[in-house]
């Protein structure tokens, strides 16, 4: 009886089958092969022609619609591609490739608008992207960056948080790749009224509770305490815990030897791992601060020390500590008045080196505005001038902040080499209050 039922069902299907369906499959196969061939050959106009021909009879065919959109996208006819992707998403909500490609179309248009300084157009496309692709965190972040440029910091903060929350990945995975978003969030909060820093602190503290051993979050929370001028012991402990965690996982890191980056008579005013000194602890523990002193009374300034020009360090030349390539260089920030600091930006140079097979970076901070002699991408030799000592960033008075970092941007112990008149080298293990003549 069961066999008879199956046979009857089979014949019923044959009887009801529309010959047009058979034609559909044959036609689709033929068109698909031809579309694929011309598409791979880069003949997008022919691909469009074939897809439109097939869609005249089968207007909702997913394959042809997608290839039609691909072809328009390659020809930079983004509006047509956008409309087709939207139709596909509406008809086939599970088509993630259509959503991905639509995101690419919007991204291209946004970037083009930004390059042309057409920010109204960029905003318009962003809002459309957020509407049609509400689950995509990228567009909220892009929107945040544009708001940041327009100094709409409160709106930028909201968008960064939305981008973070829309990202479906786990916290640890997000922290590995998108920690920069939290730093961008901080950049927004720092430019707003100081009361807003409590929101940033609350947000980061909440993340740290979920991932209590995350070194980057510890450093970030310590920085927030620093900006708020609170919890000096707690922030010091957070920094050093992060550093100890890091060191326990990387093994021995022998000191690097680099050339002293200044000429004249200098004193180390801040040494390695200065207690409760934020810029010399944690990941930045192996850093030094230098001030130039006179030959008679070891004074660091002349006059009353109330102006940058009073300081012997101000405007002194800085030299590359080793052969390398400039990775970053900036000198647009104004120098601070003596006794004032700037949390938002500084002037600095970062140079990448290969020292005895190790990738390391030397960092020179608080440079004078407009004093750079190098730019990103430049090759430099040891002893080549790179800029002048200034008083920018987190600096109360003119001095040079110098550090050596590993490939993970964690500071390394280092020694200085000085050239003697007989072409021999003197090696120095730097310590606080040490005077160096070079």
Q: How far apart are CA 436 and CA 230, in angstroms?
A: 35
Over range 65-76, report the average pLDDT: 87
Hey, how many other C-beta atoms are within 10 angstroms of the C-beta on 303?
9
Give the rounded distance of the alpha carbon of 231 from its chain centre. Answer: 28
Residues of the chain with CATH 2.70.70.10: 256-437
Reply yes or no on whether the pLDDT at 335 is more than 70.
yes
pLDDT for res 24: 52
Reply yes or no on whether the pLDDT at 117 is more than 90.
no
Strands 385-388 and 379-380, bridge-based pairing: unpaired
Q: What is the 3-state secondary structure of 320-389?
A: CCCCEEEEEEECCCCCCCCCCCCCCCCCEEEEEEEECCEEEEEEEECECCCCCCCCCCCEECCCCEEEEE
pLDDT digits (tens, 9 = 90+) for 202-241: 889 999 999 999 998 999 899 888 888 888 888 889 999 9
Q: How confident is the model at residue 174 (pLDDT cuts 50, 70, 90)?
A: confident
Q: How confident is the model at residue 9 (pLDDT cuts 50, 70, 90)?
A: very low
Q: How far apart are CA 404 and CA 257, in angstroms?
A: 10
Reply yes or no on whether the pLDDT at 199 is more than 90.
no
pTM of the predicted model as reported, rounded to 2 decimal places: 0.71
Strands of 348-355's sheet, edge to edge?
Answer: 379-380, 324-330, 348-355, 358-365, 400-405, 287-292, 265-270, 435-437
Over range 419-426, report the average pLDDT: 79
Over range 276-296, report the average pLDDT: 89
Hey, how many other C-beta atoms are within 10 angstroms of the C-beta on 197?
18
pLDDT for res 258: 96
Q: How far apart are CA 290 and CA 202, in angstroms?
A: 36
Q: Which residue has the higher pLDDT, 194 or 79?
A: 79
H or E segment at 259? Answer: strand 256-259
pLDDT for res 8: 33
pLDDT for res 142: 82
pLDDT for res 176: 84
pLDDT for res 397: 95
Strand partners, 348: 330, 365
Where do the DSSP E strands lie in 78-158?
none
Strand partners, 20: none
DSSP assignment letter at 79: H
pLDDT for res 264: 94
C-alpha angle 108/114/119, rounded to 5°?
120
Q: How confident is the model at residue 35 (pLDDT cuts 50, 70, 90)?
A: low
Share of the chain above pLDDT 90, in %: 39
Out of 3.30.300.30, 1.20.140.10, 2.70.70.10, 2.40.10.220, the CATH code matching 256-437 is 2.70.70.10
Share of the chain above pLDDT 70, in %: 91
H or E segment at 267? Answer: strand 265-270
Hey, how many other C-beta atoms are within 10 angstroms of the C-beta on 365?
22
Reply yes or no on whether the pLDDT at 126 is more than 70.
yes
Over range 311-335, report the average pLDDT: 96
Burial of 157 (0-12, 13-18, 19+ CB in 10 A): buried
Compute the half-sphere exposure of residue 435: CA atoms within 13 Å on the CB side of its CA.
Answer: 12
Q: Which residue has the higher pLDDT, 297 or 262?
A: 262
* CATH fold label, 155-250: 1.25.40
Among 31-40, 52-61, 368-377, 418-427, which stretch is predicted with the lowest mean pLDDT?
31-40
Q: How confident is the model at residue 6 (pLDDT cuts 50, 70, 90)?
A: very low
Torsion of the alpha carbons at 40, 46, 51 and 57, rounded to the nearest 10: -150
Reply yes or no on whether the pLDDT at 316 is more than 50.
yes
C-alpha angle 318/321/327, rounded to 5°?
85
* CATH fold label, 2-114: 1.25.40
pLDDT for res 191: 84
Residues of the chain with CATH 1.25.40.10: 2-114
Q: Check: CB of residue 394 under 8 Å from CB of residue 235.
A: no
């Amino acid at each position: 009886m069961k066999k008879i039922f199956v046979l009857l069902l089979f014949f019923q299907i044959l009887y009801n089958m529309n010959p047009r369906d058979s034609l559909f499959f044959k036609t689709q196969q033929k068109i698909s092969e031809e579309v694929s061939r011309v598409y791979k050959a880069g003949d997008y106009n022919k691909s469009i022609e074939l897809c439109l021909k097939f869609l005249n009879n089968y207007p909702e065919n997913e394959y042809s619609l997608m290839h039609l959109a691909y072809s328009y996208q390659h020809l930079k006819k983004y509006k047509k591609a956008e409309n087709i992707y939207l139709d596909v998403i509406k008809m086939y909500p599970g088509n993630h490739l259509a959503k991905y490609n639509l995101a690419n179309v919007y991204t291209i248009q946004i970037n083009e608008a930004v390059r042309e300084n057409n920010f109204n157009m960029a905003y318009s496309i962003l809002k459309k992207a957020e509407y049609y692709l509400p689950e995509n965190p990228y567009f909220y972040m892009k929107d945040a960056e544009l708001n940041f440029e327009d100094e709409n910091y409160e709106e930028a903060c909201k968008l960064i948080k939305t981008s973070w929350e829309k990202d479906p990945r786990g916290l640890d995975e997000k922290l590995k790749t998108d920690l920069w978003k939290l730093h961008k969030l901080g950049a927004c909060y720092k430019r707003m009224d100081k009361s807003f820093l409590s929101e940033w602190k609350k947000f980061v503290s909440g993340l740290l509770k979920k991932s209590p051993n995350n070194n980057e979050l510890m450093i970030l929370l310590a920085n927030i305490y620093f900006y708020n001028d609170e919890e000096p012991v707690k922030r010091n402990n957070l920094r050093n815990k992060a550093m100890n965690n890091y060191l326990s996982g990387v093994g021995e890191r022998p000191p690097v030897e680099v050339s002293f980056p200044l000429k004249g008579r200098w004193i180390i005013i801040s040494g390695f791992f200065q207690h409760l000194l934020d810029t010399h602890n944690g990941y930045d523990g192996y850093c030094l601060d230098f001030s130039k002193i006179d030959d008679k009374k070891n004074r660091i300034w002349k006059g009353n020390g109330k102006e940058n020009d009073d300081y012997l360090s101000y405007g002194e030349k800085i030299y590359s500590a080793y052969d390398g390539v400039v990775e970053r260089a900036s000198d647009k920030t104004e120098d601070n008045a003596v006794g004032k600091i700037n949390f938002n930006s500084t002037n600095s140079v970062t140079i990448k080196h290969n020292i005895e097979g190790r990738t390391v970076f030397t960092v020179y901070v608080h440079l004078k505005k407009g004093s750079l002699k190098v730019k990103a991408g430049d090759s430099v030799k040891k002893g080549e001038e790179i800029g002048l000592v200034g008083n920018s960033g987190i600096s109360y008075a003119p001095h040079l902040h110098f550090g050596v970092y590993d490939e993970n941007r964690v500071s390394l112990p280092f020694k200085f080499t000085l050239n003697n008149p007989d072409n021999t080298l003197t090696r120095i293990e730097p310590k606080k209050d040490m005077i160096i003549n070079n």
